[in-house]
Amino acid sequence: MGSTDASPSAVAPPTAGDPGRAPAVEAMFTRIAPRYDLSNRVMSFGIDRAWRRIALRELGDRADGDVLDLCAGTMDFSVALAGRAKTIVALDFCQAMLDAGTSKVPAGTPLRTVCADARAMPLDDNSLDGAVAGFGIRNVPEPERAVAEAYRVLRPGGRLVVVDFFRPRSLLARAMDLSYNRVVLPLVGGLLTGEFSAYRYLAASMGAWSDREGFERMCTAAGFRIVRGRELFPPVASIVIAEK
């Protein structure tokens, strides 16, 4: 954390390519961590659960192996993987988010939490079968470094599955973005957490970073083969499946 200028309104948009904004992003998540799950459930009407199920299905039997929950936050993906994955590594650079999620993971789950930056993961090369990243990579300054790191830590044949709010392209997705993402989300998120500026930032970050096709090119540049990418329903979020 440690930034004197860490107010959410000071956080530059994700495409600004400013590696220095990471402490402000981390500070913002520290502030919303205690109420993150509540606001998530309310704002998505619980639909994020269905999106997560689709993401795990796309991992296939890799979900039974060693799996990385990248930008894990309060670890909803780790919870969904519990009882199935051989080992789970939940990586996030915000300890408060990881702490807020720890009690949700069933006791005895082979889980390792790692507080680290996605751009420099303290994980071995070729050590994981799958990686799943929910609504996180768009917050990473230099997201291409996070993608390259995911490629490095996956075993050949391993899959990276990303669910995120990409910059919308289709007419329907743009309409949903303008109404839901830009109006409902900052308002409801702000009311539930008291952090209006944080939710304004999160909403702005969706339009400010890559569209899905651009993100797929980022994956290809890192060495991945794109298995598929598509909008989810409702078309506010999309999924990208990339294989090493």
Contact, 67 vs 44, CB < 8 A? Answer: no
On the CB side of 171, how many CA atoms lie within 13 Å of its CA? 0
Question: Smallest distance from the beta carbon of 74 to ligand SAM, in angstroms?
Answer: 6
According to the binding rule CB under 6 A, does residue 97 interact with ligand SAM? yes
Interstrand relation of 225-231 and 238-243 (parallel, antiparallel or unpaired): antiparallel
Contact, 24 vs 5, CB < 8 A? Answer: yes
The one among 73, 168, 186, 207 contacting ligand SAM by CB under 6 A = 73
- Write the DSSP symbol of residue 179: I
**Phi, psi angles (nearest 5°) of residue 235:** -80, 50
The one among 43, 80, 140, 237 contacting ligand SAM by CB under 6 A = 140
Question: Smallest distance from the beta carbon of 118 to ligand SAM, in angstroms?
Answer: 4
The token duo for 7 is: 């107010």
Kindly tell me the sign of the dihedral angle through the C-alpha atoms of 99, 104, 109, 110. negative
Question: Smallest distance from the beta carbon of 235 to ligand SAM, in angstroms?
Answer: 18
Nearer to ligand SAM, 77 or 151 (CB): 77
The one among 76, 129, 216, 231 contacting ligand SAM by CB under 6 A = 76
According to the binding rule CB under 6 A, does residue 118 interact with ligand SAM? yes
Kindly list the residues in this chain that would bind ligand SAM in the complex (CB under 6 A). 22, 25-26, 29, 40, 71-73, 76-77, 92-94, 97, 117-119, 134-136, 139-140
